[in-house]
């Protein structure tokens, strides 16, 4: 039968021989080295005993009635728990044929009769140690896989309590303990808090579960509860304490009375390192037996604690991430509501502003038309200035409404040819461009854009090039061209001018709202380029400027390149 995880159980040897004297001899030899023996007289009885007990090794005679050792060996090997258990066949010294057959049916080794004390004991001890090491390793891997499955299934879980419960459940059963706890100890307050617990049985003998640790999540303090203090003294390695056992791990005096009052005989704990400033531990109690843990079991528990530490940290980080996402989502919703309120406010203000402006403009026109003869010549100039400024303010209000409307505008984009749009815009600015040399450098690659937005972007940039052209040069120029960036699949459209340029310190803010060129001879409200940037960004592009003050500027924008149009033709064209 498969060995338990804990290697400190007394080894059990199954002695199979039809001769009582041989069985008694094997028993004496095994007792001398601290091993327990179970006897079987036949092969059939050997199979029954193997299935009934956690056998660590089998010593089996070859020749027996009813079922010989070879057949019994094969039958045990066919059992799920009999694949790896050591089976040593007992044969005569000159029985080479039996030795060969023994290996063929799955025997691990053989010992010749008559049995020699030292040879038999040493051979048995060696195979028991090897078998226990192998089975413990298999058990350890299986348990680690179970824990890993638990941690992997909750890798992105917010339920840290469920992670702890599942791990406590697996380890409590793996170590054959009575109960398991995840405890946080605060040495400053000398208080402990049990964050999760698992009971392999309904309650400890003579106690109620709530008497052991108190309510989950509520701090508690016990005066004669010593192991938390040992945690703080040496938290780096797993450790344990045992009642009624002499040695370094013994619990004595009042402490022993305290634990025995709960029916507890053994406690083992291991530190779990998380981002908490206090001490956190896995703690397991055993009310059924006194236990001495060897380094193998302690290192195994340490591995589990390390795995759990990483899982808890991941869960806490995931919790923090989810909380941040929720906060960001709530903030975005509040911001969206504020933007909606701001848009409504902008439209209301614009409407309230445009109405009196329209009245002012109308009154000024009436005065200019009907009262020209009664107004001094100088006053007519100021009247015309009033009308001009009113038009400027109306234009600014329209720009503000346009910019506000772009916040939630979403329109389709598709492959667009820039040249036809450019031709229309140049014709629109034909009068203003009469004194300027305009160069259009083809070709213009297809771009993914919204045609109306692209028209507005180009109209704004060309209009600015005209508006901010230097008046003190004899040959003002505007050059329009495009550059294909095949590596990044983008098209850069450039509007190059010989205008007044932009100071280096102003270039970074030029696309912001209400940022404009500072020049006494050039007026504006600083909204046009903000609209350009917003439109280009809506088409998944970006804008920029390269400029030298008093020498000119190159405003550019980039948009995704469209795939070239396919040429169509008949089969005869190929």
Q: Are residue 381 and residue 466 in the same domain, yes or no? A: no
C-alpha distance from residue 451 to each of 262, 366, 538 (Å): 82, 41, 12
- Residues 277, 164 share a domain: yes
Mean pLDDT, residues 34-54 taken together: 93
Number of domains in the chain: 4
Spatial contact of 457 and 528, defined as CB atoms under 8 Å apart:
no
Cα–Cα distance for residue pair 16/68, rounded to 1 Å: 10
Tell me the pLDDT tens digit for each residue of 359-370: 777 777 777 676
Same structural domain for residues 538 and 441?
yes
Pure H helices in 471-545: 504-507, 528-538
Mean pLDDT of 413-426: 91
Q: 255 and 181, same structural domain?
A: yes
Question: Which carries the bigger pLDDT value, residue 252 or residue 301?
Answer: 301
Say what the pLDDT of residue 535 is: 87
Do the Cβ atoms of 196 and 161 come closer than 8 Å? yes
Q: Is residue 304 part of a domain?
A: no
Is the pTM higher than 0.85? The answer reads no
Q: Is the residue at 91 inside a domain?
A: yes
Give, for 515, the enclosing helix (H) or strand (E).
Answer: none
Contact 29, 121 (CB under 8 A): yes
Evaluate whether 231 touches 185 at the Cβ level (below 8 Å): yes
Percent of the chain with pLDDT strictly greater than 70: 70
| Strand pairing report for 437-440 and 239-243 | unpaired
* CATH for 385: 1.10.287
Per-residue model confidence (pLDDT) at position 404: 57
pLDDT at 209 exceeding the cut of 50 = no
Quick check: is 537 in a domain?
yes
Mark whether 163 and 182 lie in a shared domain. yes
Query: What is the C-alpha end-to-end distance of the chain, expressed in Å?
Result: 80
Q: Does residue 26 share a domain with residue 132? A: yes
- Within a domain: 36: yes
Output the CA–CA distances (angstroms, integers) from residue 55 to 4, 26, 52, 115, 173, in the order listed.
10, 15, 9, 21, 20
DSSP 8-state secondary structure symbol assigned to residue 278: S
| H-run or E-run covering 286 | strand 279-286
Rounded Cα gap, residues 467 and 482, in angstroms: 22
pLDDT of 249: 53
Torsion of CA 151, 154, 158, 161, to 10 degrees: -50
Q: At what angle do helices 69-77 and 96-104 cross, to 10 degrees?
A: 20
- Give the chain's mean pLDDT: 77
Mapped onto helix, strand or coil, the DSSP state of residue 461 is: helix
Same domain? For 176 and 283 the reply is yes
> 257 pLDDT band (50/70/90 cuts)?
low
What's the pLDDT at 515? 55
Q: Provide the pLDDT confidence category of residue 504 given band limits of 50, 70 and 90.
A: confident
When pLDDT is cut at 50, 70 and 90, the band that residue 316 belongs to is confident
> Is it the case that residue 434 has pLDDT exceeding 70?
yes
> Which of 469, 459, 494 has its CA nearest to residue 551?
469
Assess if residue 285 is contained within a domain. yes
Same domain, 434 and 530: yes
Name the band, by pLDDT with cuts 50, 70 and 90, for residue 571. Answer: very low
Same-domain status, 40 and 162: no
Domain that includes residue 43, residue range: 12-136
- Range 100-116 average pLDDT: 90
Q: Is the pLDDT of residue 562 over 80?
A: yes
Torsion of CA 299, 300, 301, 307, to 10 degrees: 110
Name residues whose C-beta falls within 8 Å of residue 360's C-beta, 6 or more positions apart in sequence.
Answer: 386, 390
On whether residue 32 sits in a domain, the answer given is yes
Helices (H) and strands (E) counted in the chain, each on its own, are: 15, 18
Q: Tell me which of 553 and 359 has the higher pLDDT.
A: 553
Each residue of 151-196: pLDDT tens digit?
666 555 557 777 788 888 888 877 778 888 888 877 777 777 888 8
CA angle 469, 473, 479 (to 5 degrees): 50
Looking at the domain assignment, is residue 299 inside a domain? no
440 vs 407, residue with greater confidence: 440
Identify the bridge partners of residue 547 per DSSP, sorted by sequence position: 553
In this structure, the answer to whether residues 387 and 425 fall within a common structural domain is: no
Last residue of a domain, one of 407, 437, 469: 407
Return the CATH number at 58. Answer: 3.40.50.2300
Instruction: Please tell me the predicted confidence (pLDDT) of residue 247.
Output: 46
Is 341 found in the same domain as 263?
A: no
Task: Tell me which of 382, 407, 432 is where a domain ends.
Answer: 407
How far is residue 539's CA from residue 530's CA, in Å, rounded to a whole number? 15
Residue ending a domain, choose from 251, 273, 293: 293
Stated length of the chain? 574
Question: Please, what's the b/e burial string for 406-432 (b: 16 or more CB within 10 A of its CB; e: otherwise)?
Answer: beeeeeebeebbbeebbeebbeebeee
Q: What is the CATH number of the domain that holds 544?
A: 3.30.565.10
Give domain status of residue 448, yes or no: yes
pLDDT the model gives residue 481: 95
- Strand 477-485: give its sheet, edge to edge: 437-440, 477-485, 490-497, 552-560, 542-548
In a shared domain, residues 401 and 353: yes
């Amino acid at each position: 039968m498969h060995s338990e995880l804990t290697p400190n159980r007394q080894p059990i040897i199954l002695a199979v021989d039809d001769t009582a004297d041989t069985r008694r001899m094997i028993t004496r030899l095994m007792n001398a080295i601290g091993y327990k023996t179970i006897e079987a007289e036949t092969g059939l009885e050997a199979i029954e005993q193997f299935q009934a007990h956690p056998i660590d090794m089998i010593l089996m005679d070859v020749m027996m009635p009813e079922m010989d050792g070879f057949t019994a060996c094969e039958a045990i090997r066919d059992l799920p728990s009999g694949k790896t258990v050591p089976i040593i066949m007992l044969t005569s010294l000159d029985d080479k044929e039996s030795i060969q057959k023994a290996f063929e049916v799955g025997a691990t080794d053989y010992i010749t009769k008559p049995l020699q004390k030292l040879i038999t004991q040493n051979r048995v001890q060696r195979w028991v140690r090897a078998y226990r090491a192998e089975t413990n390793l298999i058990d350890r891997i299986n348990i680690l896989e179970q824990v890993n499955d638990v941690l992997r299934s909750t890798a992105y879980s917010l339920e840290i309590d469920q992670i702890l419960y599942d791990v406590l459940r697996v380890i409590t059963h793996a170590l054959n303990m009575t109960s398991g706890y995840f405890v946080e100890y605060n040495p400053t307050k000398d208080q402990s808090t049990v964050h999760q617990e698992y009971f392999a049985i309904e309650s400890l003998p003579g106690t109620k579960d709530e008497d052991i640790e108190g309510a989950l999540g509520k701090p508690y303090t016990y005066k004669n509860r010593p192991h938390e203090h040992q945690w703080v003294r040496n938290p780096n390695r797993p450790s344990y304490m045992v009642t009624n056992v002499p040695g370094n791990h013994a619990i004595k005096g009042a402490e022993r009375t305290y634990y025995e009052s709960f029916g507890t005989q053994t406690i083992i704990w291991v530190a779990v390192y998380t981002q908490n400033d206090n001490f956190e531990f896995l703690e397991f109690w055993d009310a059924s037996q006194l236990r001495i843990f060897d380094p193998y079991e302690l290192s195994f528990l340490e591995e589990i604690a390390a795995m759990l530490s990483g899982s808890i940290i991941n869960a806490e980080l995931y919790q923090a991430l989810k909380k941040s996402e929720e906060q960001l989502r709530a903030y975005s919703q509040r911001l969206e509501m504020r933007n909606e309120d701001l848009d409504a406010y902008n439209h209301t203000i614009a409407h309230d502003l445009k109405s009196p402006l329209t009245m002012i403009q109308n009154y000024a026109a009436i005065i200019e038309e009907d009262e020209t003869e009664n107004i001094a010549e100088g006053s007519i100039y100021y009247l015309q200035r009033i009308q001009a400024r009113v038009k400027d303010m109306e234009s600014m209000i329209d720009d503000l409404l346009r910019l506000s409307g772009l916040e939630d505008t979403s329109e389709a984009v598709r492959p667009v040819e820039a040249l036809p749009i450019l031709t229309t815009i140049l014709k629109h600015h034909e009068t203003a461009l009469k004194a300027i040399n305009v160069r259009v450098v083809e070709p213009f690659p297809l771009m993914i854009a919204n045609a109306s937005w692209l028209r507005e972007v180009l109209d704004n940039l060309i209009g600015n090039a005209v508006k901010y052209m230097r008046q003190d040069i004899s040959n003002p120029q505007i050059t329009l061209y495009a550059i294909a960036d095949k590596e990044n699949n983008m098209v850069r459209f450039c509007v190059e001018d010989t205008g007044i340029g932009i100071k280096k310190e102003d270039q970074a803010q030029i696309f912001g709202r209400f940022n404009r060129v500072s020049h006494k001879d050039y007026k504006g409200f600083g909204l046009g380029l903000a609209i350009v940037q917003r439109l280009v960004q809506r088409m998944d592009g970006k804008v920029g400027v390269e400029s030298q003050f008093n020498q000119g500027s190159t405003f550019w924008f980039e948009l995704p390149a469209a795939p070239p149009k396919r040429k169509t033709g008949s089969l005869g064209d190929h």
